[in-house]
Amino acid sequence: MSSVLHCGRFRLSLDRPLIMGVVNVTPDSFSDGGRFLDGAAAIAQARRLLAEGADLLDIGGESTRPGAAPVSLDEERRRVLPVLEALVGDGAAVSVDTQKPELMREAIVCGAAMINDVNGFEAPGALEAVAGSEAGLCIMHKQGTPQTMQSQPAYEDVVAEVAAYLGSRAAAAVAAGVVGGRIVIDPGFGFGKTLEHNLALLRGFEDLVAAGWPVLAGLSRKSMIGALTGREVGERLAGSLAAALMAAGRGAKILRVHDVAATRDALAVWSAVR
Ligand code: HH2
């Protein structure tokens, strides 16, 4: 496996897990909905996360929480691009969380270092939108759509099925012309998965890592943490840190988190002992 992630004009070492700070420019995200809908508030939050030690940022303009309503291209563009432009101007490595090929293209023109697609670049034209660029790709697994995904998720063997899907989408990206060093895979915790499925994926994380692609883990504040601790979304930091460290211990290369400073401290202790 390449120990360097190639994303846009950045070359990020994967010798230690990277911290990706989440900025949701949305009214309805499960974790922080509405707090950063205003562009200036989103930019300020992103700068705070960078100061806390985020290696890259992930900006999203469409919530993917279970039951979330889809957002038009115009609205998503209006939310994301001004924030992206400001952060690129700061010199930050910025990922854009979108499923829309048009926005992928525009984001790359604006300087996005990575495109994070919870739809695994399955939309017609999505792989083509990124292939000719230097942007990194985060290819995520989900079952169903945000509208339906938590109704009845079902797998025979969740780890094997998720690994097979991610392997085939990574191969499709390579076939479309993406060099391997730009690809990251992600099992998509909470996206069409029960608590048991999420736990099985975390237990079996090393099987995902074994495929050779850097693996991203997005566990921060998710409902599985709530289910295990009985905590509301704003009180899930301790549970999220435990999950992040378990993912890191099993080989995760990028941790997608809302609480950058705390994750950084937890990783500092973990990596000193490792
Ligand atoms: N989780 C969320 C959104 N995007 N992208 C990847 N690659 N992996 C994830 O686990 C992931 C993701 C959901 O979290 P959040 O952004 O806080 O909420 P919302 O989708 O409601 O905006």
Per-residue pLDDT of 211-249, as tens digits, reads 999 999 999 999 999 999 999 999 999 999 999 999 999
CB of 26 closer than 6 A to ligand 1? yes
Q: Is the pLDDT of residue 134 over 90?
A: yes
- Rounded CA-CA distance 64/14 in Å is 27
Instruction: Give 34-43's long-range contacts (Cβ < 8 A, gap of 24+).
Output: 37/79, 39/79, 39/82, 39/83, 39/86, 42/83, 43/83, 43/86, 43/87
Distance in Å, CA 64 to ligand 1 centroid: 6
> Ligand 1: which residue has its CA nearest to atom 11?
218
> Ligand 1: which residue has its CA nearest to atom 12?
118
- Residue 10 — φ and ψ, nearest 5°? -100, 150
Atom of ligand 1 nearest to the CA of 258: 17
* Residues 211/167, Cβ–Cβ less than 8 Å: yes
For residue 212, give every residue at least 6 positions away whose Cβ sits within 8 Å of its Cβ, in sequence order, or none.
Answer: 1
CATH among 1.10.1060.10, 2.60.40.10, 2.60.40.1080, 3.20.20.20 for 4-273 = 3.20.20.20
Residue with tokens 């090393």: 206
User: What confidence tier does 45 reach under pLDDT thresholds 50, 70, 90?
Assistant: very high
Q: Is the pLDDT of residue 105 over 90?
A: yes
Distance in Å, CA 172 to ligand 1 centroid: 23
Q: What per-residue confidence (pLDDT) applies to 144?
A: 86
CB of 120 closer than 6 A to ligand 1? no
Which of 78, 84, 119 is closest to 99 using CA atoms?
119
CB of 65 closer than 6 A to ligand 1? yes
Q: Is the pLDDT of residue 2 over 70?
A: no
Q: Ligand 1, from 30, 59, 64: best to mutate by most atoms within 8 Å of Cβ? A: 64
CB of 60 closer than 6 A to ligand 1? yes
Q: Is the pLDDT of residue 1 over 70?
A: no
Average pLDDT estimate for 184-208 = 97
pTM value surpassing 0.85: yes
Catalytic residue list: 222, 256
Q: Is the pLDDT of residue 146 over 80?
A: no
Question: Is 56 or 67 the better-scoring residue by pLDDT?
Answer: 56
| Per-domain residue ranges of the chain | 4-273
